[in-house]
Every structure is written in C-alpha cells, then in structure tokens.
Amino acid sequence: MSSTGGFEVVRDPLWNNIGIDAQALALLDTAPFQRLRYVRQLGHAFLVYPGATHTRFEHALGTYHLARRALVVLGERGAIEELPHTEIHLIRLAALLHDIGHYPFSHALEEAGLPSHEQLARKQLQHPELDAALARTGVPDASSRIADLITGTDRSPLQGLISGSLDLDKIEYLTRDARMCGVPYGTVDVDRLLHSLALVDGPHGRGIGLHEKGLSALESLLFAKYQMYRNVYWHHAVRSATVMFKRVVRNALAEGVLEASWIARSTDEALMEAIRRKREVPLAARLRGRRLYKRALDIPAADLAPGIGAWLADDPDLAAQVEDRLAAECGFAVGEILLDFPRKPAMLAGDVPVLTRQGTVAPARLGIQQVADELHTAARRFRVYVARPVTLDLTGVRTLLEGSAAEVRARLAEDRGLLSSVS
C-alpha cells in the first residue's frame, strides 16, 4: 500500500490502483476483515487451476473499487444528488464488507447445509472490533443497515449495487476469477456496464436500473457467468474436491469434532488443520494430496428429465444417507461414494429495469434469457464419484434420481437395494 494522508492506494492485478479512504481503511484493519486474506475465493478450484489462489480479501477490495466508480458515474448524472452523503458512503462500506460472513472454501459449506454467508454477515458485523469501526464512520445504524444491504432487504434505492441481478459483486468475481484461472470465459464489458447504470422508478420503487445502451454488456455478463459455471465452478475435478470436502466437514460436525460457529470464523488452512489434528481421516488425507475421487457416472442434465434429483441439492442429509447406502451395496466404506448434481436456477437472472432512449422504464428483454433454462441445463451434470472403480447400473441410478425426497426415504427404509444391480 502507498499512503496519501489517510487515503491509501493499493496495487491490484485486475484494477491496477484501488483508492481506499480512511474509514474503509479502519474496517480493513479489523480482525474479521483480515480473516478474508486466508479464505480463498474459489475453494478447491486451485487444485485444477493453480492460479486460483486469490482470496475474498482482494475480491472485497475490488468490489469496493467498483462501488466507488459506480457512484461517481451516478453522481456525475445527478442521479444521487438528493441522497444523503451517509447513504452513499454506506454503499461503499457495504460493498467492502459484502463477504464478511463467508465460510472457508467458497460455497461448499452452504451446500452442505450450513446457514448462508449472507445470514452470517449480520453476526460478523457485530464483532466488537468491526462494530466499533463502523460506529466511527458516522453512518447511523451502520452495522444493521449493511447487513440488510447484504441480504437484499434494505430499502435504499442503491440496494441493487450490493445485492441483485446487476450487483457489483458479480461483475468483480467473474472478471477476477477468469483472470486468476487463466481462462477466456469471464469476459465482461465492465466499463460499459458501469457507465450504463441508472437510477430508475421500477415496479418496486426507485432503484438501480440500466440504460438500454448497456443491454449487450449485461448479456455478456450473464453469458460469462454461464461459461464460468460450466467450465470452472462446476468442472468435474473441482466438484470432486468439493463433495469430498463437504463430506469431511459434515462428518466432523456430526461427531462433535468441530462446531459450526467455529467454522464460520475460521480460515481455509485453519479448518483443514483442525480436522487433521483432531481426527485424521483417509478422505481428508486424499483431499490434501489431491487424490480426488473419480467419476463412475457423468450424465448431462439434458439427458435427464427436467426437475428430477432436486433432493440432492435441497436435502444434504438425505443425500448423505443415499451415498452411504450405495457405498454399502457396492462393498465400499462409508464416504467412498459421493453424489453431485449442483444447480443454480437464477444463474441467468436479468430482472433489471431498463431506461429506454425515450426516457421510459421497461423490463429488460434479453435474448439470452429466452434460452436461460437450456443454458442452465447445459451447465449441469449429475455425477457419481468413487474412491475406486466400480460399475453402476445406469437404470437403477436414473430410477433413484426420478424419485421425490419422500420416495427416496421410503426406499431407504426398505431392505431391498437402491439400485437394481451393481457389479
């Protein structure tokens, strides 16, 4: 960092120079924010993309930087001149703190059934050190307001910059993740998007919208998101590491080795070291040594009936029970067969009010949203990961997936196997 009288400039590989004002600097120096230096942005993706070791810390700085830029654009147009200065400053601080509640290893633990990082943000913002720094900003009720902005429940007309279809978080992480992974998929026309931002009167009141000249840039953002999910976030080896990690942590929680409240305050390495120190397990050792489970089945979602297998994502406890039953049927140890069928239904949500050249406001009409469901399906794959080779009966797996949660529970209660045959 270089200092200019209470104003710091940070060198960043993505945005070059990031200016940080004195109040934001005070937040950076708190323990909860410093923790983010040790929480990787993309979880176990570094096992596939070696450059993906960037953290929530630099992502938070980048989001803060984009918030400053966005507010300058809106200010130059006079769109926010009637808003109190404290309201505008609140948005900058919320952008900086939007991931303050994040778990170690990206979103894996939310998939495992733990509360969302947005919910945890409210508790982290009450940390004495961080709460005191926020109190000194002069923004009334700053901790509570920032928590509302992060969860998308605040009534600020600038809420959409922090949580929404066009929030600055998405613009930042897609651009940074693509750069650090070394892939060409996350290309976003950031400048065009920022200069197309507008404050409009939409169906839910005054809020963030987009001038119609920025619609192509918005489509590029959404398509970049699809490509990153298909090629990076849901890469088969990344997902193998993710499901292995989820099972390790779920077991540690079930056995009382770890507490969820401690995990929420932990870091990537602290969490893995705690597991190693308190209860070394073969699955954790395999994960650390990158001896990842291999695919016994890998079925495109397009080859499956729409809507099936929802219980895999919605009910992690049920999914674990099915995994354990399948392991027993195949002669495997508990945890040696793992299932994965990730989903992100709102992946291509683009419900942004558009300011037309005639000065009217209309819903965004994006070509990409006409095929949003198809693209979401194209990005998804159902996979069965195994510790050692096994041949599974495809018909039996399909039948299992097609069942509802209640039907799957009923099958678990029966003595017969979940699959029609296993060899």
247-275 pLDDT tens trace: 999 999 999 989 999 999 999 999 999 98
Within 13 Å and on the Cβ side, how many CA atoms surround 8?
A: 14
Angstrom distance (rounded) from CA 78 to CA 189: 24
Q: What is the pLDDT of residue 5?
A: 53
Pairing assessment for the beta strands 353-355 and 361-363 based on DSSP bridges = antiparallel
Phi, psi of 66 (to 5 degrees): -65, -35
What residue ranges of the chain have pLDDT lower than 70? 1-6, 279-280, 420-423
Helix (H) or strand (E) holding 382: strand 381-386
Q: What does the alpha-carbon distance between residue 354 and residue 211 come to, in Å, rounded to a whole number?
A: 6
> CATH number for the 2-233 domain, one of 2.130.10.10, 1.20.1250.20, 1.10.3210.10, 3.90.320.10?
1.10.3210.10
The one-letter amino acid code at 26 reads A
- Paired sense of beta strands 353-355 and 197-202, if any: unpaired
Q: Name the helix (H) or strand (E) containing 339.
A: strand 337-340
310/348 Cα distance (integer angstroms): 19
Q: How far is CA 394 from the centre of its chain?
A: 31
Question: Domain boundaries in the chain?
Answer: 2-233, 236-344+378-413
**pLDDT, tens digit (0-9, with 9 covering 90-100), for 139-174:** 889 999 999 999 999 999 999 999 988 899 999 999
| Residue at token pair 């200010």 | 75
- Joined together, the tokens standing for residue 138 give 């002069």
pLDDT of 420 reads 58
**Residue reference for tokens 């678990």:** 412
Tokens of 268: 């990537």
Task: State the Cα angle at 375 between 372 and 381, rounded to 5°.
Answer: 135
Write down the pTM of the prediction.
0.94
**232 DSSP 8-state letter:** I
